[in-house]
Amino acid sequence: MQNRTVLITGASRGIGREIAKVFSKNRYRVVLNYFKSEKEAENLEKELRDSGCDALAVCANVVNYLEVQNMVKKAISFLGRIDTLVNNAGISIGRVFGDTSEEDWNKIFDVNVKGTFNCCKSVLPEMIERKKGKIVNVSSILGIVGGSCEVAYSASKAAIVGFTKALAKEVGPCNININCVAPGLIDTEMNKNLNEHDLELLRGRTSLCRIGTVQDVANAVLFLSSEEANFITGQILQVDGGLVI
């Protein structure tokens, strides 16, 4: 019997897509948020439904509060309730600081930080009423150590760390767990600009001598959503192969 439910932002591609697959394999009913990649989201919805999972793709720009509220209404009407919210949608720009415009800065903070704010704000009232819920935010190892040519991105991901810790304190008494994963380099389109030389260098810097897979991150998110993680909140789980120890 499928009984647990999840809303995943940015589930059309990359890490979010794999989170949806891993949760559905673990008997979750899923709502897949997407923004621009409609075809990919619809294909994933079909793939999950064909495998016997309840899945619904919902379009929303996480930057837009009204769109997020509508998405959450649709998710609750489809799922009944939201046991887990995964704030995965995110963008990076990869530009030296001198070339980073005000527009770049605002865009990164809008999607990565305001998007997380909008989704938490829209999902929390229902979780607080039920006195139960889990939220997993997707930060980045760069939010902890900072990355050259990624100042805006690193700052936005550090904001998610602070956001997670503060909100975990505030809603802990309502039995809501809020944690973060901080992935290292993961093989997705976000890193398509890296050449083989860069990749080899980065592989060499991890203790496990490899680049991460989308499954590595999805499994960590699944754990933080599980009953086994009931006493864990406000934590940042690095999924980086020992890049930063």
Residue range at the interface with ligand NAP (CB under 6 A); choices 50-58, 82-90, 125-133, 164-172: 82-90
- 28 catalytic? Reply is no
186 is a contact residue toward ligand NAP (CB under 6 A) = yes
Cβ contact 112:57 at 8 Å: no
> What DSSP designation does 40 have?
H
Q: Of 56-64, 121-129, 218-226, 229-237, which part binds ligand NAP (CB under 6 A)?
A: 56-64
Phi/psi for 76 (5° steps) reads -70, -35
CB of 228 to ligand NAP, least distance (A): 23
Residue corresponding to tokens 């439910």: 5
Please tell me which residue in 28, 34, 65, 153 is annotated as part of the active site.
Answer: 153
Does 14 sit near ligand NAP (CB under 6 A)?
yes
Both structure tokens of 24: 């559905």
Which of the ranges 57-65, 117-125, 171-179, 228-236 carries the binding residues for ligand NAP, by CB under 6 A?
Answer: 57-65
Which amino acid is residue 154, in one-letter code? S
Interatomic CA distance for residues 218 and 92, integer angstroms: 20
Choose the binding region for ligand NAP from 4-12, 78-86, 123-131, 202-210 (rule: CB under 6 A).
Answer: 4-12
Q: Is 62 in the site for ligand NAP (CB under 6 A)?
A: yes
* Site for ligand NAP contains 108 (CB under 6 A): no
Instruction: Please report how close the Cβ of residue 79 comes to ligand NAP at its closest, in angstroms.
Output: 18
Among 132, 140, 141, residue whose Cα is nearest residue 173: 132
The C-alpha atoms of residue 127 and residue 76 are separated, in whole angstroms, by 11
Cβ atoms of residues 68 and 43 within 8 Å: no
Place of tokens 């704030």: 87
Residues whose CB falls within 8 Å of the CB of residue 227, separated by 6 or more in sequence, listed in order: none
Among 189, 195, 204, 245, which residue interacts with ligand NAP (rule: CB under 6 A)?
189
- Could you give the CA distance from residue 178 to residue 66 in angstroms, rounded to a whole number? 23
Phi, psi (deg, nearest 5) at residue 207: -65, -30
Rule CB under 6 A: is residue 183 a binding residue for ligand NAP?
Answer: yes
23 binds ligand NAP (CB under 6 A): no
Which residue number, 171 or 190, has a Cβ lying nearer to ligand NAP? 190
| Catalytic site positions | 153
Residues at the contact surface with ligand NAP, assessed by CB under 6 A = 9-10, 12-16, 33-37, 61-63, 88-92, 111, 138, 140, 183, 185-186, 188-191
